[in-house]
Amino acid sequence: MLSLTFIPDLAGVDPVIICKADRDLTGMNPKITSHRHLQHEDRLFAEFAVVYDRGNKRTTLSLDVRRAMNNKSAAFASEADAFVWALDHPDDFPGTGTLVIDFGGANIRWLLNCGVEVLEMPELLGKAPLFRYTFNGGEITKDNPL
């Protein structure tokens, strides 16, 4: 079981449930990229070059979610309803927030200070649109920040 919920930083904006999946996570094509900001100082006239770790850890998480398969509570009545919802969906992610990644309560992670960097719908299969989400955020933590 995987549940993804985006909780916006803006007051009065409701959380967005992205998926509640009970199928194999592999089919969602998860990809994680984590990097830090490093400052490189060339050798010049010193004995050696120096690299400073400036922290500022950045994490990019992308995955595919097929509505009605990965979120059964979000089934659509028709293809037209699915497409209209898809047209409005990018507006569900105002500004930044926290992404809650919940694997059934036992393992919960929070992607802090994140936003939806890319949201695309590469395929509409009947009443089940496929969305590719790319979240760009800070650190992934085990400690509940909320």
Q: Quick one: tokens of 36?
A: 């830090």
* CATH 2.40.30 for domain 2-141: yes
Per the CB < 8 A criterion, the answer to whether 127 and 78 are in contact is: yes
In this predicted structure, what is the pLDDT of residue 137?
Answer: 92
Q: Quick one: tokens of 85?
A: 């919802």
Q: Quick one: tokens of 134?
A: 């790319």
Where do the domains of the chain lie?
2-141
The pLDDT tens digits of the residues spanning 1-17 come to 788 899 999 888 889 88
In this predicted structure, what is the pLDDT of residue 125?
Answer: 79
**Contact residues for 72 (Cβ-Cβ < 8 A; gap 6+):** 20
Q: Distances from the Cα of 116 to the Cαs of 78, 84, 95, 98, 126, in angstroms?
A: 27, 20, 8, 10, 25
The pLDDT tens digits of the residues spanning 101-115 come to 988 777 899 999 999
The model's confidence at residue 34, banded by pLDDT at 50, 70 and 90, is: confident
User: Which one is predicted more confidently, 33 or 23?
Assistant: 33
Name the 3-class secondary structure at 22.
coil
Q: Give buried/exposed letters for 33-61 (b at 16+ CB in 10 A, else e).
A: eeeeeeeeeeeeeeeeeeeeeeeeeebbb
In this predicted structure, what is the pLDDT of residue 82?
Answer: 85
Nearest CA-CA partner of 7 in 81, 101, 89, 70? 101
Name the 3-class secondary structure at 127.
coil
